[in-house]
Amino acid sequence: MSADFTARAGAALADPTLKIAIDRTTITARTKRASAIAAWPEFPLARALGRDIKDHVIAHLDHYLLEFEANAIASGARVHWAETAQQACDITVALCRAADARSVTRSKSMLGEEIGLPHALAQAGIERVETDLAEHIIQLAGERPSHIIWPALHKTREQVGELFAREHHGALPLDTAEQMMASARRELREKFLAADVGISGANFLIADTGAVCTVTNEGNAELTTTPPRLHIVTAGIEKLVPSTAHAMSLLRLLVRSATGAELTQYTSFHRGPRRPGDTDGPTEFHIILVDNGRTRMRAEGLAEMLRCLRCGACLNHCVVFRQIGGHAYGGTYPGPMGAVITPILDGLAASHDLPNACTLNGQCQEVCPVAIPLPTLLRGWRDRSWREGLEPASLRGSLALWRFVARRPALYRAATALALPMMRLFARRGWISAMPLAGGWTRHRDLPAPPARGFMAQYAARQKAARR
Amino acid sequence: MTDARAAILARLAGHRTDQATIAAQAAALLDRVGPTRPDRVRGAPDAVFLQRLASPAIGATGERIATLAELPEAVSRYLAAHALPPLVAVQPHPELAGLAWAGIATHADITPDEAVAVGLAHGGIAETASLVFHSGAHSPTLFAFLPMHHIVALHAHSVRPWLEDHIAADPPRNVNLVTGPSGTTDIEGTLVRGAHGPGHLHVVMIGSNNDADPVAATRPA
Ligand code: SF4
């Protein structure tokens, strides 16, 4: 493991408040998802359908992009294409400048985070107002999102209360989550209506209508995209679906997997600018289609990852994420899905630790609503990292030693016969809480004490007894 | 940015499948939707709608009146029950404008801090108790988002069973499915009602849809 990841994970593990915050949200999320899925016996069929819809689109992505583009243009939208994060930011900033925009409201979008849009707007001197409650929290705190559904998951309600007491202008009470939301509502109300540009992401791009689908609980997406003169959508090219009906099937999966609800409060389909007779809506509607590594994923054996609906279930169920939270991963996307995507976005050399920070217990794949084989994809990165010589010499050395011993059964048995009794010297009530050379394991958890004799020794003894 | 467009499309171009085959595959996927739906819309869609609307997961309220002419009375009752002043924004829909709003001061322009707005939904979806709004001159988008209390009239005959049943062939600029009052789970994952959108949603069902065939409303096997 490289120093960066180890240091970040170590700092996360040493933070007891962080652990409380992670537990509060992920336990609720797992419980709610479980009951939503239990109330939907058709889930396995729906999941197979969701998987196949996404695979169909990814296989014919060029076809659907062109169909979407033509229909979006016919609705009055302008469509832009960006190969890289930088291009996408440049287009967005240029559109804001051309519109003389002073203030921009933004409705949460992971793609916006991925391409570094907050930073690009700041560099351009354009005021950015985050309207999603969690994004508002982390904007005030000057932090980065730590979860793809709950960006402020790393904060307890007590911490949010303190932050709002410091930063909000109203003098509303801030003891409950309800009161904190009410304070944010008041703080942001006027900003929604005063913005020149509203920027959103897309949950789905509908090829046969050219519409952009967003889902939110708070109603902030519509308040972000309706009043300003410009609505800019930044969307990954994998968000396409053939039609609205296909999107509905994916919505059933996405929402239950994300929050345990059956449908988010607001599911909106935006299609072009204001029309004659409309009394509200933007006068310009721009869609930026962003590649940023997606065509590479498709070409390099990661096509299945492009099914991802960004529901966050794999994060909530990951034993590693639940210990270290999202920031320790160091990229835009944390948890299992992040460990697969980040090496594409940031390069394997900088992120080869992430596919290793996984127990391969398979929980993530089991809960994934589009059945992405996350453990297999993570193993693929491990292979590649090994082949490219990115794993440190100490790891290569110890594995070589293990291999040497393991291929010589007599030596292996002698070594275990020696090691097991030694390990048992450190055990108390069947658990080892500290032992030389095992600090990396025992600092944050105990190691079960091994039996006195190894498997082969016990097996041999049993065979002998049976023969008697 | 034609360069980026060409480059992306070039990287995606593989062996090309003809359009008809792709369309047939997409249609075949939709043929599989029926058995995946949560099998719970049993009975008349409008009755299922009202039932689900009141479930804690959705957190809205509902009532039924016989005809649209009774809507102003229902609104008056709601205002009285919530101790709200008789001042409401009414969606500029001809069906609503024609009503006798006795005792209630109405206006058509919604303000950022509007206390109460009254609207008429394009339709309803029983599966999720969702209201469908289509933007247009008679239905500004912000009506569903600015008020604190949103009272929505819904014709019983416009309620259909499933999410797929209100898909328009040529949709307007904005289609909104509204499911309950706004909320957030952003603080510790727990649902809190009343976010940026309305904090209260009240649906007034107009008439009933007893003629709807309950068998047709259930999921095909
Ligand atoms: S990989 Fe699957 S479970 Fe994880 S966020 Fe994506 S869709 Fe959800």
Walk me through the domains of chain A, giving residue ranges and CATH numbers.
40-294 (3.40.50.10420), 409-467 (no CATH)
> Which atom of ligand 1 is closest in space to residue A367's alpha carbon?
3
**Interface ipTM:** 0.94
A95, A192, A217: which to substitute to probe chain B, counting the most B Cβ within 10 Å? A217
The Cα of B212 is separated from the nearest Cα of chain A by a number of Å equal to: 23
A168-199 burial, b at 16+ Cβ within 10 Å, e below that, comes to beeebebeebeebbbbbbebbeebbbebbbbb
B81, burial (CB in 10 Å: exposed 0-12, middle 13-18, buried 19+): exposed
Q: Which two tokens stand for residue B45?
A: 């869609």
Domains of chain B with bracketed CATH = 42-206 (3.40.50.10420)
Residue to test with chain B: of A178, A191, A203, A222, most B Cβ within 10 A:
A222
Q: Is B17 on the interface with A (CB under 8 A)?
A: yes
Q: What DSSP string runs through A24-77?
A: HHHHHHHHHHHHHHHT-TTHHHHHHHHHHHHHHHHHTHHHHHHHHHHHHHHTT-
Say yes or no: CB of residue A372 within 6 Å of ligand 1.
yes
- Give the residue from A334, A300, A344 showing the smallest Cα distance to A84: A344
Contact A157, A177 (CB under 8 A): yes
Q: How far is the CA of B133 from the centre of ligand 1 (A)?
A: 30
From atom 3 of ligand 1, which residue's Cα is the shortest distance away? A368
In angstroms, the CA B74 to CA B70 distance is: 6
Residues 6+ apart with CB under 8 A from A18: A12, A154, A325
**How far off is chain A from B14, nearest CA to CA, in Å?**
9
Residues of chain A found within 8 Å of residue B187, distances taken between Cβ atoms: 133, 152, 155, 157, 160, 177, 180-181
Distance in angstroms between the alpha carbons of the first and the last residue of chain A: 50
B216: pLDDT confidence band, cut at 50, 70 and 90?
Answer: very low
Query: Going by DSSP bridges, is the β-strand pair B105-107/B87-90 parallel, antiparallel, or unpaired?
Result: parallel
- The Cα-based distances of B121 to A227, B146, B220 in angstroms read 21, 16, 27
**B4: distance to nearest CA of chain A, Å?**
5
Tell which residue, A304, A352, A323, A362, has the closest CA to residue A444. A323
Using CA atoms, how far apart are residues A32 and B57, in angstroms rounded to an integer? 11
CA distance B143 to B53: 20
CA distance linking residue A337 with residue A316, whole number of Å: 11
Does B94 contact A at CB distance below 8 Å?
Answer: no
- Decide if A83 and B4 are in contact by the 8 Å CB cutoff: yes
Compute the distance between CA of residue A433 and CA of residue A446 in angstroms, rounded to an integer. Answer: 5
For residue A362, give the amino acid letter. G
A99 DSSP 8-state letter: T
Q: Which helix (H) or strand (E) holds B30?
A: helix B19-31
Instruction: Record the tokens describing residue A367, joined without a space.
Output: 């809960």
Q: Do B4 and A66 make contact, defined as CB atoms within 8 angstroms?
A: no
Of A182, A220, A271, the CB nearest to B173: A271
Chain A closest-CA separation from residue B105 CA (Å): 21
Residue reference for tokens 């996405």? A254
Of A163, A223, A152, the closest CA to residue A189 belongs to A223
A147 alpha carbon – ligand 1 mean position (Å): 12
Residues of chain A contacting B174 with CB distance shorter than 8 Å: 222, 226, 268-271, 281
- A207 in Cβ contact with A243 (< 8 Å): yes
How far, in Å, is the centroid of ligand 1 from the Cα of A311?
5
Mutation choice for A interface testing from B165, B186, B192, B200 by most A CBs within 10 A: B186
Nearest CA-CA partner of A197 in A108, A291, A126: A126
Contact A77, A272 (CB under 8 A): yes
Closest CA to A382 of A403, A352, A362: A352
CA distances from A106 to A109, A229, A243 (A): 8, 14, 26
Using CB atoms, pick whichever of A209, A262, A278 lies closest to residue B128. Answer: A262
Cβ-Cβ pairs closer than 8 A, A with B, add up to 253
pLDDT of residue A2: 57
Neighbour tally for B11: CB within 10 Å: 17
Handedness of CA A14, A19, A21, A22 (dihedral sign): positive
Tell whether ligand 1 has an atom less than 6 A from the beta carbon of residue A312. Answer: yes
Four-CA torsion B106, B107, B112, B115, nearest 10 degrees? 0
Three-point CA angle A61, A346, A149, nearest 5°: 70
* Number of alpha carbons in the 13 Å side-chain half-sphere of residue B20: 0
Q: Is A311 in the pocket of ligand 1 (CB under 6 A)?
A: yes
Look at A263 and B179 and tell me if their CB atoms are within 8 Å. yes
Residue pLDDT, tens place only, B86-96: 999 999 999 99
Interface of A with B in 284-323 (CB under 8 A): 289, 291, 295-296, 298-299
Per DSSP, the three-state class of B203 is strand
Q: What is the pLDDT along chain A (468 residues), one digit of tens a residue?
A: 456 888 899 889 999 899 998 998 999 999 999 999 999 999 999 999 999 999 999 999 999 999 999 999 999 999 999 999 999 999 999 999 999 999 999 998 999 999 999 999 999 999 999 998 999 999 999 999 999 999 999 999 999 999 999 999 877 889 999 999 989 988 888 888 899 999 999 999 999 999 999 999 998 888 999 999 999 999 999 999 999 999 999 999 999 999 998 888 999 999 999 999 999 999 999 999 999 999 999 999 999 999 999 999 999 999 999 999 999 998 899 999 999 999 999 999 989 989 988 989 999 999 999 999 999 999 999 988 888 888 877 777 888 888 888 888 888 888 888 888 888 888 888 888 777 777 776 777 778 888 888 888 888 888 888 887
DSSP assignment of A173-202 = --SSHHHHHHHHHHHHHHHHHH-SEEEE--
pLDDT at A442: 75
- For residue A22, what are the CA distances in angstroms to B183, B187, B188? 21, 11, 8
Q: Which residue of A has its CA nearest to B221?
A: A42
The residue nearest atom 6 of ligand 1, judged by CA position, is A308
The residues in A 394-453 lying below 8 A from B, measured between CB atoms, are none
Q: Are strands A240-241 and A204-206 parallel, antiparallel or unpaired?
A: parallel
> Of the candidates B41, B198, B74, B78, which has an alpha carbon nearest to the alpha carbon of residue A217?
B198
Task: Please report residues of B whose CB lies closer than 8 A to that of A253.
Answer: none
Whether the pLDDT of residue B65 is over 90: the answer is: yes
Helical H segments across A75-132, by residue range? 85-98, 110-114, 117-123
Question: Cβ separation of B171 and A244 shorter than 8 Å?
Answer: yes
Q: What is the CA radius of gyration of chain A?
A: 25
Of the given ranges (A267-271, B29-33, B141-145), which has the lowest mean pLDDT?
B141-145
Q: Which of helix, strand or coil describes residue A79?
A: strand
Does the CB of A219 have a partner CB in chain B at under 8 Å? yes
Selected residues 34-73 of chain B with any CB under 8 Å from a CB in chain A? 35-39, 57
Q: What is the pLDDT of residues B147-199, one digit of tens each?
A: 999 999 999 999 999 999 999 989 999 999 999 999 998 898 888 888 999 99
Are B173 and A153 an interchain contact pair (Cβ–Cβ within 8 Å)?
A: no
What is the strand order of the sheet B105-107 is part of?
Answer: B61-65, B200-206, B149-155, B116-120, B87-90, B105-107
